Structure 1
Amino acid sequence: MTSFNRSTSRRLKKLPQIPSVWEGDRRPMSSSHQHSDSEAKGECILWVDGSQGVVRGMDMVPQETGPEAIVRTLMRAIEHPHSPAKPARPQKIVVKDREIQFYLRGVLQDLDITIDYAPELPLIDELFRGFAEIIDSQIPDLPPQYAQALQDKAFAIWQAAPWEFLEEHQILSIEINKWDVGTIYASVMGMLGMEHGILFYRSEDSLKQFRAAVLRDDEPQVRLEEAFLKQDCLFLTFEHADDSDEDEDDEIDLADLPLSEIEPTFGNIHPLEGLRSVLYDEEALVVFVALESLSRFIRDHRRQLYEGGFPSISHRYRISLPASNEATKSATVTVSTMPQLAAELEEMAGFGVQELEPGEEISPMFRSLRDDLIPEDSFLSLGVVSWEMLEYLRQGVTHHQVCEIKQAGDGLPVILIQTSRPKAKAVIANIEAAGGLKAICFNPGADPFDGDRYDLGLLQTQNGELFLFGEFLDDDPIHVEARKKWNQRCKNTKGYCGLIIAKGLTGSARGNPQPRDMMALFEARSLSPKDLGIGTLQLMPQLQSE
C-alpha cells in the first residue's frame, strides 16, 4: 500500500486539528437518461465537513481510477479547501464503503484521524440527490425513445451520400401532413465539401430568402449571420467525432473517415428561437420520417438522380414509426423532386450567365475564359502515364472519357491536378456539366504591367468554354523542358493527351498520388496556339482576349 512521505506527514500534522466529522465518498454521476453504466461519464468524489455543513473538496474522476484518487481529493480538502473553509485536519472521517475505510486507515495512520464506517452519510446523500435532480432536469439532445432510431437513419443517409449527385439548389419536397407539418423541403449540403448534411425547410419562402441573402455579394458578415438565424428549418449535419484539434479538422475530408469517426448532429433553426441542437418529440418524428423516406427515395431513384438533369420524379412511401405512445403506427409520405424550383434557384445564383464588357464580343472559338474551375491550392504537374497504367485507369476510375488513341512512344501525356476529394468532385462535376473535356491547350500570355510573358495552360470543354489551369513563366527552365516533352509525346500520339483529377492533397500522397487516389481520366485532343487561334492573352484583373 502506498503511504505518505514522512515530510508530507509532518507538514499535514502541523495544520490545526478541528473537532469536526467529515463525510467522504465516491459515486457515479448518473441519471434516468443514461441507459447503462458504460454511459456514465465518471465518478464524483466528495469530502464534506458535517459539523460546518460545507463542501471542502470535490473531484470528477474516470470510473476505473484507483483508490488513490479519494486520498488526493482529501489532501486538497485538508490543505486547500473550498471557500469559506480554512486549512485543517478533521478529528474524524466517516465513510460508507468498507474498502475505502480500511484503505484510509492504512494511509492516514500517522495523522491521528479516526476513520469510521456508517451505513448512511446524510449530507453526501442529500448532495447526490440534488446532483441527480439537476441532471434529470436537463433536456437531452434527442428524445430518449427516438434517439437510437434517429442515429440509425442518420448513418443510413451518410452511407447513401446524396451530396455525391444532388446540389444544394436541387430541392426535394417531402409531404408529411402530420404533427402540424404539411410539406418540408430538403436541401442536401456537401457536394462542394464545405459541410455535409440536410436542411429540412418548413417553407419555400424561408429557403428562397436565405439563398437570396447568401448570394448578395455586398452582404456584411453580421447580416449573413442574421439571415442564418432567420431560417425556419430542421437540420441534420455530420462532423468529425474527434474535435480535439479544430484546425486539423478543417483539412479533413469527412468522406475519407471510417463510420466510427462520423458524428451526426440534429437541431432546429427558427427566427424566434434561434439555433438549438435539441429536437423535441414531434420534431424528432418529423425528422425520422423525412430521413427514412429520403433514404428510400435515393435507393429507388439513385440512377436517375445520378445521371443529371434533375428529372421530375415522385414516389409515395408508408413509413413505420419508431416505438412511441402514439396510437398512430405509420405515416404516408410523398417525396418529389422540384425541377422548377431548382431552375429558379439556379437562375437566382446566376449560373451560366456571362456579363460582357462594353464592345466585347464572344469569339466563335470560345464563349468565355475563366479561372474558377481548378482550385487555387491544387498540385499541378505535366507528365506521362504508361500505356499499361492507362488501361488500368480506364477500368479503375469512376469518371472516364475515352478517345481512340494510337499507342506510340512511352505513354499518354497527361496534366495531373491533385486537390482535396470534395474539390476534385466539384471539378469533375463542372467538366461533365459542360459536356466533357474537348482539348488541352498551352497559349502565350503577357502581363502588361510588369512585362512578364507566360505560357498559359487552358482546358477547353465541349461547350466551348476555356478554363485557366496554370500560369507558367515562359523562361522557367523546368517548365520549358516539361513543355518540350509534352509536345513530343503529343506528336507521338497524333495529338491526343489526357487530364487526371486526383484526391489526397493533404495526405501522404500529396504530390505523388497513387492509382487509388485518381478519381477521373478525361482523354482529349491537344491544341496548339495556332489551332486555338485566340492570340496572346493579357493577364488582367478579369482575363480577356486581345
Structure 2
Amino acid sequence: MTSLTPATRRRLLKLRQVPSVWEGDRRLLNSKASNPLLGGDSSDMTGDCVLWVDGVDEAVRAIDMIPSDAGPEAIVRTLLKAMETPTGPHAQPARPQRILVCNREMQFFLRGVLQDLDIAVEYTADLPLIDEIFQSLQEFAGKVTPQLPEKHADQLEQLAYEIWQDAPWENLDEEKIFSVRLNYRDVDTLYVSILGLLGMEYGLLMYRSLESLKRFREQVMSGTSQEDVEAAFMQQDCFFVTYDPDHSESNGHATPEIPPITPTFGSIHPLEGMQSITYEEDASIMRVALQALHRFFSTQLQGMDTRHFPEHSKRYRIDDPMESGKKVSVTVATQPAIAQELAEMGDELMGDDLDDEMDALQLPEALAQLLEEQLIEEEGAVLQDTLMPPQAFYSLGAIPFSLVSELRKTVKFHQASDAKLPKKLEWFPIILVQTTRPKALEMIEAVKDAGGLQGICFNPGEDPFGDQSYDLGILQLADSSLQLFGEFEEDDPVHVEARRKWDDRCKKTKGQCGLVIARGVTGAARGNPGLKDMMGFFEVRSLSSEDLGLGKLQMVRPYEEF
C-alpha cells in the first residue's frame, strides 16, 4: 500500500485537530452538461464524484470529479484537500477526530493511510448528509441546459454526419465561400467558410454577415501577436459545426469508410463570446442551413476545387423545424467574387515584406530545449538542427490525393519523385512546415543547396535525465546530413494517432510521402494553409529508423550543466 511521505505526515500533524466527524464517499455522477457546483464548465461530467463533508457544521470541505476507473488514492487526494485547503470562504485548515465511510474496503484503505495521524476511521451503513448532497447534485445536473435542444439534437447530429460524408474540404479551402439565403428567424443570409483542406481541422463556419467574415480575416492576417489572433477570434459573429475524433469504441455512426468523429455545435458573438449551448431558435436556423448545404454539396461539388469555383446556385424548400407543415425557401450559391476578394486580401496583407520577427506558434518547450543541445548516438553521429526556422509550425498531416497534381504546379519549387504512385489513393501523407515567407524561401534554398531532400523518418530518442522518451521527426538530405524538424512525446495520444495514420497512409502510397513548406504562420491560414500559401513541395520516401541505423538517440547536456 502507498503511504504518505514523512514530510506530509508532519505537515498534517501540525494542523489543528477539531472535535468533528467528517463523512466521505465516491459515487457515480452522470451529466452531459456543465455544473458550476463542481468548479468547472466541462461539457461532460460523467464519472465519480468524491465528496468530504463536515458532519457537525454540515459543510462541504472538498469535492472532486474523477474517472470511474481511478483507484482509491483519489479519495485520499480529495481528503488532503479537505484538510489543508478546504472549500468555502469560512472554512479553516483542520484535521478531524473521526471519519465515517459506508464502504468496508474504503475503511480499511484509509485506516492504513491515516494510521499515524490520530484519526479514527469508522464504518456506517448510512451517510444521510452525503446522500442529501449527492441527490441535490444529481438533480441540479439534470436541470442544466443541454448543449443542444432535445427537439433538434438528433436531426442536427444526423445532418452533421451527412455533411461529413459530403466532405467539401476535400476539394475546397476556407476562401471558397457559399451563401445560404434563408430569410428565416431574423437571419437573412449566412456566409459559409469550410475548414479542413489539409485534413487537420474539419468544420463549417456560418457567418451572420459578410462584414463579420471579412473583418475577421483582415484582423487575423494583420495581427502581430497571439493576443491579436485571440481577440479577432472572439469578434466573429457566426454559427459553427466542427468535428473532433471520437476515440470511443463506437459512436453509432462509424463505418470502415467514415472514421469515428463527434460533431460540436455552437456560436460566437462579440458581445456573447463563444457559446457551447445552442438554444432552440438558433438550432432551428442551423437545421435549415445545414439541410440546404447538404443537398447542395451532395449534387454540386463535382467539378469544384481550389482553382475552379464557378458561379452556381440552387433553390430548395426545407421543412420549418419550428412550425409543422410550413416550408422555408432557401437558396445556396457559390460566391466566386468573394473568394477572389479574400484571396487578394491575403496576398496584400501577407506580401513579400513580412517581418522576420512576426509572432508564430511556439515550438514545444521540450523541443526548444532539445534544439539548444545535441542529440547524438553512442557512436557520435550528430543530428543537426540548422534547417528548421525558429518559431515555425509543424505537423503530420495529409492532403487529398486529387490535389497532388495541382500542388506540383502551384508551388515555387517542386522536387519530383521517380517512383509512381498507386492510381487509387484518397490521401497523400505530408509533413507541413509553416513559417514566414522569407524563412520559407530560406528553408527551400537550404534544401536545394544540400542537393535536395532524400527521405523523412521518425526515430526514437530519449532524455535519460528527464526520464522522457520521444519520437523524433528527421529529414535526411541528399548530402547525407540529418536534420531534426520536430519532436513528439512518445506516449502523447494525439501523436500516437497521428503516427498511426501516417504509417497507414505511407503503406498505401508504397512508401511515398512529402514535405510541404508554406508561408502564412501568423494569418488566418495558421495551421491550415491554402494552396496559394504552399511554396515548396518535396516528394520523397518514408524511411524507417532501421534505414537510418541510428538506434535510440540520447540527449547529451553541455558540461557546464553538471
TM-score (norm 1): 0.53
Instruction: Trace 1:150-161 onto structure 2 (pairs within 5 A).
Output: 150-161=156-167
Aligned length in residues: 379
Deviations 1:471-493 (A, max 9, x none): 246899x9799xxxxxxxxxxxx
Q: Which has the larger radius of gyration?
A: 1
> Hey, what's the Cα distance between the residues in 1 that align with 2:74 and 2:449?
68
> Hey, what's the Cα distance between the residues in 2 that align with 1:349 and 1:76?
55
Residue in structure 2 matching 1:238, options 240, 243, 253:
243
Deviations 1:461-514 (A, max 9, x none): xxxxxx9996246899x9799xxxxxxxxxxxxxxxxxxxxx99994489x876
**What residue is the counterpart of 1:203 in the other structure?**
209
The residue type equivalent to 1:335 in the other structure is V
Give the unaligned 5+ runs of structure 1.
Answer: 243-255, 356-370, 400-416, 424-455, 457-466, 482-502, 521-546
CA contact (8 A) 1:236 1:264 kept: yes
Deviations 1:70-93 (A, max 9, x none): 985797599768453632432x84
Deviations 1:177-202 (A, max 9, x none): 22111111111122255643221111
The residue type equivalent to 1:259 in the other structure is P
Matched, 1:471 2:448: yes
Give the unaligned 5+ runs of structure 2.
Answer: 35-43, 248-255, 353-407, 435-440, 454-476, 481-497, 515-562
Matched, 1:515 2:512: no
**What residue is the counterpart of 1:48 in the other structure?**
53
Residue in structure 2 matching 1:170, options 154, 173, 176:
176
**What residue is the counterpart of 1:498 in the other structure?**
none
**What residue is the counterpart of 2:557 in the other structure?**
none
The residue type equivalent to 1:471 in the other structure is K
Residue in structure 1 matching 2:337, options 322, 336, 340:
340
**What residue is the counterpart of 1:186 in the other structure?**
192
CA contact (8 A) 1:56 1:85 kept: no
In 2 relative to 1, CA 3–205 (structure 1 residues): closer, same or farther, beyond 3 Å? closer
The residue type equivalent to 1:396 in the other structure is K
Query: Helix, strand or coil for the counterpart of 1:396?
Result: coil
> Hey, what's the Cα distance between the residues in 1 that align with 2:2 and 2:174?
65
Instruction: Trace 1:460-539 onto structure 2 (pairs within 5 A).
Output: 471-472=448-449, 507-508=502-503, 515=509
Q: Could you tell me the percent identity over the aligned residues?
A: 33
TM-superposed deviation, 1:418? 7.2
**What residue is the counterpart of 1:147 in the other structure?**
153
The residue type equivalent to 2:147 in the other structure is D
The residue type equivalent to 2:337 in the other structure is Q
In 2 relative to 1, CA 332–149 (structure 1 residues): closer, same or farther, beyond 3 Å? same
CA contact (8 A) 2:173 2:306 kept: no
Deviations 1:227-281 (A, max 9, x none): 4333221122334557xxxxxxxxxxxxx99722x44333222232233333222
> Hey, what's the Cα distance between the residues in 1 that align with 2:183 and 2:213?
19
TM-score (norm 2): 0.52
**What residue is the counterpart of 2:292 in the other structure?**
293
Matched, 1:265 2:264: yes
> Hey, what's the Cα distance between the residues in 2 that align with 1:504 and 1:479?
24
TM-superposed deviation, 1:164? 1.8
In 2 relative to 1, CA 469–181 (structure 1 residues): closer, same or farther, beyond 3 Å? farther
The residue type equivalent to 2:213 in the other structure is L
Instruction: Trace 1:8-407 onto structure 2 (pairs within 5 A).
Output: 21-31=21-31, 41-56=46-61, 58-63=63-68, 72=76, 76=80, 82=86, 83-84=91-92, 86-90=94-98, 93=100, 100=103, 104=107, 115-118=123-126, 121=128, 123-132=129-138, 135=141, 138-192=144-198, 195-216=201-222, 222-240=227-245, 259-260=259-260, 262-306=261-305, 309-320=308-319, 326-327=323-324, 331-350=328-347, 373-374=410-411, 384-385=418-419, 390=420, 393=422, 395-396=423-424
In 2 relative to 1, CA 375–177 (structure 1 residues): closer, same or farther, beyond 3 Å? same
The residue type equivalent to 2:315 in the other structure is R
> Hey, what's the Cα distance between the residues in 2 that align with 1:470 and 1:102?
63
> Hey, what's the Cα distance between the residues in 2 that align with 1:304 and 1:89?
76
RCO greater where, 1 or 2, for CA within 8 Å and sep 6 or more? 2
Deviations 1:322-348 (A, max 9, x none): 6x7x55665332211223333343444
> Hey, what's the Cα distance between the residues in 2 that align with 1:311 and 1:266?
29
Query: Helix, strand or coil for the counterpart of 2:95?
Result: coil
